[in-house]
Structure 1
């Protein structure tokens, strides 16, 4: 090649400009794909208005907040034929700027579980969508005219063909199982190029639904639900997208024992790890797991937070620009993405009222409110002013929040030393004790905040004044082998102090899961001090229900100040009582008696559980919990007797403590009572459901509170009003 110097310079310049331009294009593409946040598309349930697409955002893949006040971002009636839209799957296109979403066209309240169509959607901004409904039997009558179930579509880009492949499960009428099919979308993403083909048939001949494919290093990982037969999410693997899938094994990939569905897998930004999430639809929760290889997963539920309850959704990484666009469009000034993080706060009880534009900050005992910095932080896309310490001692402080693309909004922020909840954290079934040995008060609760009431250890807290509580640590741990006869979850303790010779002994009774079978049973542990160490007996003390039904849970130990005899009460759905032997670790079987109060409904005083007995001025007060512990209506009722072994006469006005929904206090129950020594001064210690978690997981986000309990002149108990303020320190 012979060229003159000017010609050679021109060639070099052209090459330089070409590669510069190419570099610019690549740089722009890389910049466009610098994802640093996440979009979660989901629906919420099977009822009217719930089968609709909703959005949530996350900046880390672990903590999510619903956009648009958890309301739909698309009108199901406009984009579907049924009026319901489920199982949304969202995908970024190969060009980095086009988005594809597919969903099930199904309205369960009218159709049950039979449907015929799926929905294809396309967008360039995640806000405005071009949508198309494809009715499978009508579009392909010869091949699929007999199909009556078209479920859970998803989309993946096929690099080999340069096309978008949609795949979903279908079922023919009759006994045939669900099979996953696929079809390539046309260029407009408004239809299919040809009739669907079979993609995956479960070799165990079980129904195969909710397919979810992700590609990693040239290998395709195909997660799906085995709906019938052995339940759970299975994994098939292939080096080709449309064929050749084999199963490493038929074990469940998910980490549940309950039935699950709707797997959604995505790669974390700037990480080599993947998240596999799925819908634990049998008990209304979502589970998140993490894996480096898409085959071995660990549960990370304790790292996850959501202020909504999703059903079968998917997560897609997004850019800062896309995040801000979604915030500007769907973030609401009455549902701020903010939190207060100061260590002096009772963080679980910070209340943000978007309608009234107020925030209340409950602080721990001893916090200086004249210069308190709540450390209010906002999610990306929201600014907050002022910052730093403020004087809350003189009343509310105004804070201004500005959402990107929106006008500023002002919230009135107050702070106060609220004494309820009394314990920081999630605890339930509190049993209170005044110790004559130490001159202190103690609370022994169930450890809560675990899914399905699965707390497995007990702690104790101490106080000089019933207000300032110190965590004294664990006293029994089922997983550590502290209780020879029990494993797994443990509930509802009770304790008594008894003078034995010149010393005091502490007898701690509790419900545990019996390793030899038979469910929950009651055992006892003994200590020389209120904080332990406690030594558990080798076998449970109470194994059977004298009523022939219900669980052996919720013990209450009581030493009769009149006779000096010790008694134990227990039961769920029934109330049993027995006298304890002198050793305090066994019962006099001949004294076992069923004392269940008669009559009542869940609305008033029907006995459920949580018995507690006190004695005052010649009367034995039997107090118990009504309704279910997960219900906002869970409350305390009472009756009286002239004997610690009954019979019980239900009080004329039996409700002692019940929810105050107007002030956001729910599920007030499973209590105990303490008398200030030497005074006719009484306090009720109970748990309530944390308001933020009222509908989250059946009420296992409970917290311990204390309020004053007073008697009328005729000896009846005055109704207790549950409060956030709580009580003043007791001298």
Structure 2
């Protein structure tokens, strides 16, 4: 054998290299990526928001927070980016695809408008709806050609819904697929009975299309197919549109299938009922691969409910999709697409949609704890920072509008131990001065999501008993306890009561507990299924045992509103009073056993605008009755108070003591409790607010709340001074 020369070694290597350069990579999103796959830096989300508003059926944009596909910012201030001026003048189910060369994007959408039945009833639009799809083209995702209406469905079709596309290398064309009801040739008025099938056609340019063919017809109605390719297999996700019944338990959920041929009419079954158990029903799935790891995301539209809900998996063949736990999607997103974008595309999109001239779109910095809070009206940005962040040498990066400049420059190192100003000059010469404030954020004080905190000083320590938050519909089942010696550093004592095994009369909706002590026993008052129970333990850390085997305050009786939100105040004479209510507030003296009361002594003490969350303290002979107003899901949720001569009143309303501070991202401040440091006149208010938005966290709302602590002070006349809610929180409290 002759020895191999450099030439004989080089030629195979060159051939291998050329092959690698020309081979298309595995798919990362719906629609094949370009041949030379770029490095992706984030995601673009195109969607509509529903038929409930006049502009809900137009196309909106959101941009991910970097490569985090679960946290998004709305572009264009949440207003539509593309609107329809032709056809039915409504746009639903937008889908965007990158060309295989990466030099062009196509956006397609359903031609339908259901706002106030603009296109007719749902039955009508499936008999006499559009046979066309809407099409746009772009080279940068910002500037789009005029929309065009392209007919793709046959004359026998009654509708053309949710078009999507995928590049097929074997065909050298895009495969475009959608749902249509097909009527018989001898039924030109489409009066007969039929069902939706998935159709497809092919195109090279989204102008001319092949004759449509039936792609998926299982013998019953299916809509909203979406596809992702991994290695040599296509995975298809489709809504089962049948009405739920005993013979079709997976109706109104998603079916997963797979095939090695995109246009095959015989996909193999993978799983059905995808989404069931985590949502009430689902449609409009969109599937895409993570930019950074071997993971896929499936967003399913819980129509009539939350809109899109994200799921994730690391194994497409398993058919097992796990609901994502921490996410913040745009407001009310409906059927749309997620597309990976490069850093240049990401920056271009962010700059293309500033709120106004010379606006700051975003600010980021090292050791940031939460996303920047940009307040356009006051030209202010607040940066929530880690508690240990070095503010003296911070170099924040400012995202500004296209063509704008900023001075000092983005990334300039400055001393942020005090707020700093920047001047932004827009492309048209408009100038604005912005103030950027960096705040070391000490809240929340408890880890994770917790709401409705009840705080007390017991056995030489502070204790907080909260609602464990973060469950859809407030459906938690467990209560935990936390203790602290200084109100800043807290110890987690774990679960102290679990409705499932520990309570026989309720299984869920574990809310708003309260604690009281008498004669060395600890009484834990808790909500379960809109009723109030009581459990007892020998330690504030539990474990607690249900004392009655039934509710202490049951629903369905003579009391109005919900039987929730207990609070206990024990007066100087040793009498304990139970307060509760939602919509109506009540109080009753508890018997000495702390587990019973005389119903005849229940008193209605409902003040104006009372919602829930009662709490009572006494200071210098005056009783203070406090409560929350508005709704816990509202950013305007706040705390008001009244004063009186006894635990039973009568009460004189005084005003609001705690409310939102939106320029710091502090919203929905409420359902509080108050504690006094023994031997002092120092008072602290413990309350929940919407969770601060940040990487890896759930978006703050009425089911995702955090617990924090601030000072509460009194004026010389005994009135409570308005509390200023802070991100910093308090310094450790030392007892005298």
Shorter-chain TM range is 0.7 to 0.9
Number of the residue aligned with 1:6: none
**Do 1:288 and 1:304's aligned partners in 2 also have CA atoms closer than 8 Å?**
no
Matches within 5 A, 1:468-479: 468-476=488-496, 478=498
Number of the residue aligned with 1:574: 584
Q: Secondary structure at the match of 1:544?
A: coil
**Do 1:573 and 1:608's aligned partners in 2 also have CA atoms closer than 8 Å?**
yes
Matched, 1:723 2:730: no
Cα distance between partner residues in 2 of 1:81 and 1:218: 38
Q: Secondary structure at the match of 2:160?
A: strand
Number of the residue aligned with 1:45: 49
**Do 2:364 and 2:396's aligned partners in 1 also have CA atoms closer than 8 Å?**
yes
Cα distance between partner residues in 1 of 2:81 and 2:441: 42
Q: CA deviation at 1:461?
A: 4.2
Aligned pair partner of 1:210 in 217, 224, 228: 224
Cα distance between partner residues in 2 of 1:231 and 1:27: 39
Number of the residue aligned with 2:513: 493
Aligned pair partner of 1:595 in 603, 609, 616: 603
**Do 2:48 and 2:93's aligned partners in 1 also have CA atoms closer than 8 Å?**
no
- In structure 2, do the counterparts of structure 1 residues 101 and 361 end up closer, same or farther at CA, with 3 Å as the change threshold? closer
Matched, 1:631 2:634: yes
Q: Secondary structure at the match of 1:667?
A: coil
Number of the residue aligned with 2:156: 143
Matches within 5 A, 1:528-543: 528-530=538-540, 532-537=541-546, 539-542=549-552
**Do 1:525 and 1:534's aligned partners in 2 also have CA atoms closer than 8 Å?**
no
Q: CA deviation at 1:312?
A: 1.9
Structure 2: stretches of 5+ with no match in the other structure: 1-7, 26-33, 184-189, 245-250
Aligned pair partner of 2:522 in 501, 506, 509: 506
- TM-score of the superposition, structure 1-length normalised? 0.77
Q: CA deviation at 1:611?
A: 1.7
Cα distance between partner residues in 2 of 1:569 and 1:156: 61
Cα distance between partner residues in 2 of 1:672 and 1:103: 51
Q: Secondary structure at the match of 2:316?
A: coil
- In structure 2, do the counterparts of structure 1 residues 301 and 331 end up closer, same or farther at CA, with 3 Å as the change threshold? farther
Deviations 1:579-624 (A, max 9, x none): 434343x213x436553345x7xxxx23322122334566654332
Aligned pair partner of 1:429 in 443, 452, 467: 452
Q: CA deviation at 1:671?
A: 1.8
**Do 1:521 and 1:543's aligned partners in 2 also have CA atoms closer than 8 Å?**
yes
Cα distance between partner residues in 1 of 2:22 and 2:386: 54
Cα distance between partner residues in 1 of 2:331 and 2:546: 43
Aligned pair partner of 1:154 in 164, 180, 187: 164
**Do 1:452 and 1:700's aligned partners in 2 also have CA atoms closer than 8 Å?**
no
Matches within 5 A, 1:543-554: 544-545=554-555, 546-547=557-558, 550-554=561-565
Q: CA deviation at 1:189?
A: 0.9
- In structure 2, do the counterparts of structure 1 residues 391 and 425 end up closer, same or farther at CA, with 3 Å as the change threshold? farther
**Do 2:561 and 2:581's aligned partners in 1 also have CA atoms closer than 8 Å?**
yes
Q: Secondary structure at the match of 2:490?
A: strand
Aligned pair partner of 1:524 in 526, 530, 534: 534
Number of the residue aligned with 1:200: 216
Structure 1: stretches of 5+ with no match in the other structure: 1-11, 513-518
Aligned pair partner of 2:96 in 74, 90, 94: 90
Q: CA deviation at 1:269?
A: 4.2
Q: CA deviation at 1:423?
A: 5.1
Number of the residue aligned with 2:137: 122
Q: CA deviation at 1:168?
A: 1.6
Q: Secondary structure at the match of 1:40?
A: strand
Number of the residue aligned with 1:258: 280
Deviations 1:267-314 (A, max 9, x none): 334755432222234024532322412442342523545566532222
- TM-score of the superposition, structure 2-length normalised? 0.76
- In structure 2, do the counterparts of structure 1 residues 175 and 409 end up closer, same or farther at CA, with 3 Å as the change threshold? farther
Cα distance between partner residues in 2 of 1:720 and 1:710: 9
- In structure 2, do the counterparts of structure 1 residues 350 and 458 end up closer, same or farther at CA, with 3 Å as the change threshold? farther
Number of the residue aligned with 1:75: 82
Deviations 1:203-236 (A, max 9, x none): 4x4x422211234455443312234433221224
Matched, 1:557 2:568: yes
Aligned pair partner of 2:609 in 600, 606, 612: 606
Deviations 1:147-194 (A, max 9, x none): 2x4321111234454332222223487785651342424443124333
Q: CA deviation at 1:536?
A: 2.8
Cα distance between partner residues in 2 of 1:175 and 1:553: 53
**Do 1:122 and 1:189's aligned partners in 2 also have CA atoms closer than 8 Å?**
no
- In structure 2, do the counterparts of structure 1 residues 416 and 28 end up closer, same or farther at CA, with 3 Å as the change threshold? closer
Q: CA deviation at 1:103?
A: 1.0
Number of the residue aligned with 1:688: 689
Q: Secondary structure at the match of 2:207?
A: coil
Matched, 1:385 2:411: yes
Cα distance between partner residues in 2 of 1:491 and 1:461: 16
- In structure 2, do the counterparts of structure 1 residues 188 and 231 end up closer, same or farther at CA, with 3 Å as the change threshold? closer
Moved more, 177-186 or 333-342: 333-342
**Do 2:48 and 2:91's aligned partners in 1 also have CA atoms closer than 8 Å?**
no
Q: Secondary structure at the match of 2:84?
A: helix
The total of aligned residue pairs comes to: 673
CA RMSD of aligned residues (A): 4.6
Number of the residue aligned with 1:313: 336
Deviations 1:85-141 (A, max 9, x none): 2221122334444433211223443526645242123344434434554375xx868
- In structure 2, do the counterparts of structure 1 residues 368 and 264 end up closer, same or farther at CA, with 3 Å as the change threshold? closer
Matches within 5 A, 1:211-230: 211-216=225-230, 218-227=232-241, 228-229=243-244, 230=251
Number of the residue aligned with 1:7: none
